[in-house]
Amino acid sequence: MKNYYYFLGVEENASEEEIKKAYRKLSLKYHPDKNSGDDFFAERFREVKEAYETLIDEEKRKAYDRGYSLKKKSIRSDFPPVIKTFSVNKTNVDKGDEVIVKWNTQHADVVKVLPFGLEKPFGERRFKITEFKEGKFHVVLHITNTKLHKTAVRGITITENKTTLEEMMDTPKKRGVLFGKIYLVIILIVLIIIVLSRLFN
């Protein structure tokens, strides 16, 4: 069962006004029109909208709270949480490439795959990476057994492929080599022009 309170970033005892405020903020942040229709933001927007529509309705919220409470109790375990598998289909990608992340866990009642949020104990998610931070994109699996207050974490770093020019510009030394080559080419072109002009004059 999805954790609607987590989707909105509010406590389980949040007031109606707090829920409305959180929804307004997140709906603007994730709205597809503000993010070029990106699938990742569109999915976050749908989750936020679904959470708001449930929690803002008094009867729906009561029914949800009952079901969520029972669900948490039923999946709690006396064993510490275990990450059985956590993987992506590729770790070197170009901007806009689709990546598949898969995970399988045991003995955890709270499972988060960041930056996506709460997920089932096992599954997979497809997404496109549109932005990197310093050429890196991090995916983190964070699982918790709230009964034992035990947590397990594992991360994967996905690296952006670089073009030849970007690689040449990566360090001052490489930039110097690149500019040196460009300078030599310019000198050669000038010399060729001078020689040709003398031949035809």
Q: Examine the domain organization and report whether 98 and 49 are in the same domain.
A: no
Reported as a single tens digit per residue, the pLDDT across 135-148 is 999 999 999 998 88
Based on the structure, what is the number of domains in the chain?
A: 2
Give the range of the structural domain holding residue 146, as residue numbers without chain letter.
82-160
Domain end call among 48, 75, 102: 75
Distance separating alpha carbons of residues 20 and 84, to the nearest angstrom: 38
Distance separating alpha carbons of residues 50 and 94, to the nearest angstrom: 32
Beta bridge partners of 93: 160
Domain end call among 75, 109, 134: 75
Q: Examine the domain organization and report whether 20 and 67 are in the same domain.
A: yes
Domain end call among 75, 102, 129: 75
Reported as a single tens digit per residue, the pLDDT across 115-163 is 888 888 888 988 888 889 889 999 999 999 988 889 999 999 999 987 6
Task: Count CB neighbours of 22 within 10 A.
Answer: 20
Q: Examine the domain organization and report whether 25 and 50 are in the same domain.
A: yes
**Mean pLDDT across the stretch 43-64?**
92
